[in-house]
Structure 1
Amino acid sequence: MANVKATDLVIIRDMLKGKGDEDMNALASALKPEVFQILKTCLSLNWIPIEVEAEILQEASKLFFPNDPRPLFKLGYTVAGKQFTGVYKFFLRIPSVGFIIKNVSTTFNTMNDKGTCRVDGLTSNGGTFVISGLPEQTAVQREYICGVISCVLELTGVKNVKVVKVENDPNEWKWKISWE
C-alpha cells in the first residue's frame, strides 16, 4: 500500500475551516468516520494511505467546486496555489521552467513513499511528466495532479498551460504538458 504526506490535506482542512461549520459538517457526513478523523487530526508530516487521500480529495472537490466541470483539477490548482505563496511564489519565477520541472522528482519523492517521478522529452515549451511504480494511484489523484501541475507552471510565468493525462499504462502514469 502506498502512502502520501498529508500536506495537501492540511491545506484542505484549513480551507474548510475558513468556510465554516456547515461545510465541515457536510464533509464529515460524506466521509467514513475514520477518514474524517484522519482529516481532522493529520499533520503535514504524517503519512496517509493513498486511498484515504483519494476519498478526501474526491469529496472536498465536490464541496468546494460543485458547479465546476473539473472539480478535482480545480482543487489541485487551488491547493498548489496556497502552497506557493509569499516568497515561494516569487522564487518560482527566478529559475527556468525546465529547472522547476526537472526538480519536481525531488518533491514527489519527499511526498510519496512509493513510485518514482521523471520528466521525459523536455523542451522549451513542453514535456511529459511520468510517475512509475505506483499502479495504485487513483483516477482522483491523477486528475488532481493536472491542477497542481497547471498552477505550478503558471506561477513560473508561462502562459496557456495544457496538461493532458495519458492513462494507458498503470505502471507509468503520464501527463503531456505544454505551455507558451
Structure 2
Amino acid sequence: MQVRGSVIKSIDSFVSDVHSAKYEEWKNNLSSASSLLLSSVSTSSWYPVEPGVIAPTQVLCDMFYTDKKKGAWESGRYSAKVGLTGIYKVFVLISSPTFLLKRATRVIATFYDPTDLTVADTTDNSMVIQFTELPIKNELIEYRIAGWMEMALEICGCKNLKVDITKSMAQGSSIFETTINWD
C-alpha cells in the first residue's frame, strides 16, 4: 500500500498555497511519521499511504473544512491543476475527455500502488470508472481521486461537468465507482 512522493508533495503545496496563514500550524499538527516523511520525500519514490496521504489529508480536513470530503476533493483538484502543467497540460488540452479517462488506468497506477480500474461504460458525454483495487479502503483517498479527475477534465475543456462517487470501497462496496457526465 504505497503512494508516489508527488502526491505527498501536492498535499504540502496545497496547504502552503491555499491555507498559507496556517501552514506552519498544519505542519505542527502532523504525526511524527508524517512530518519525517514530508521533510525527506522524493517525488519519484514510493511511500506508505497512511502517513503520506491519509494522515496529512485528515489534518488539513480537520483544520480547514467542516466537510472532510470537500477538503479531500479540493486537495485532489489542486493536485491535478499543479500536476498537469508543462508537457502534461498540452496532452490534456488536446485530449478528448474519453481519451483521457480511458488512459486513467495508466495514470492512476503511477500514483497509487496497487491500483486496478476499468472503464465500465462510456458515451460521448459520460463515463463510469470502476476501481476494483486501491492501496487502502479510505474515503479521503476516494475523494482525492474524484477531485483529481474533475480538475483534469476541466482542463480538458469539459463543460457542465459532474463527477459523482456512486460506489465506495470505504463504505463497504466491493468497488469504488465514479460516474462522470459533461456537455
TM range (shorter): 0.7 to 0.9
1:86 counterpart residue number: 86
The verdict on how the C-alpha distance between 1:94 and 1:166 changes in structure 2, with shifts beyond 3 A counting, is same
Give the TM-score of the pair, scaled to structure 1. 0.86
2:116 counterpart residue number: 116
2:28 counterpart residue number: 29
Shift of 1:21: 8.1
Q: Is the 8 A contact 1:105 1:117 kept in 2?
A: yes
2: CA distance between counterparts of 1:152 and 1:81? 7
Shift of 1:99: 0.9
Q: How much is the aligned-residue C-alpha RMSD, in angstroms?
A: 2.4
Q: Is the 8 A contact 2:114 2:135 kept in 1?
A: no
Shift of 1:114: 1.0
Q: Is the 8 A contact 2:61 2:67 kept in 1?
A: no
1:56 counterpart residue number: 56
Pairs within 5 Å for 1:4-153: 4-17=3-16, 23-52=22-51, 53-63=53-63, 65-66=64-65, 70-134=70-134, 136-153=136-153
**Which structure 2 residue ranges, 5 or more long, are not aligned?**
none
Q: Is the 8 A contact 1:50 1:137 kept in 2?
A: no
2:177 counterpart residue number: 174
| Structure 1, 128-137 or 115-124: larger mean CA deviation | 128-137
1: CA distance between counterparts of 2:130 and 2:161? 17
2: CA distance between counterparts of 1:98 and 1:111? 20
**Which structure 1 residue ranges, 5 or more long, are not aligned?**
none
1: CA distance between counterparts of 2:179 and 2:19? 37
2: CA distance between counterparts of 1:67 and 1:90? 35
Partner amino acid for 1:173? F
2: CA distance between counterparts of 1:81 and 1:135? 23
For residues 67-122 of structure 1, the C-alpha deviation after alignment (integer angstroms, 9 at most, x for no partner) is 77812111111121011123422321212211111111011222222131211111
Q: Is the 8 A contact 2:2 2:49 kept in 1?
A: yes
Q: Alignment length, in residue pairs?
A: 178
The verdict on how the C-alpha distance between 1:40 and 1:20 changes in structure 2, with shifts beyond 3 A counting, is farther
Q: Is the 8 A contact 2:113 2:135 kept in 1?
A: no
Partner amino acid for 2:175? E
Partner amino acid for 1:49? P
Partner amino acid for 1:27? W
The verdict on how the C-alpha distance between 1:176 and 1:17 changes in structure 2, with shifts beyond 3 A counting, is closer
The verdict on how the C-alpha distance between 1:144 and 1:16 changes in structure 2, with shifts beyond 3 A counting, is closer
1:162 counterpart residue number: 162
Identity among equivalent positions (%) equals 22
Shift of 1:12: 2.8
Shift of 1:173: 0.8
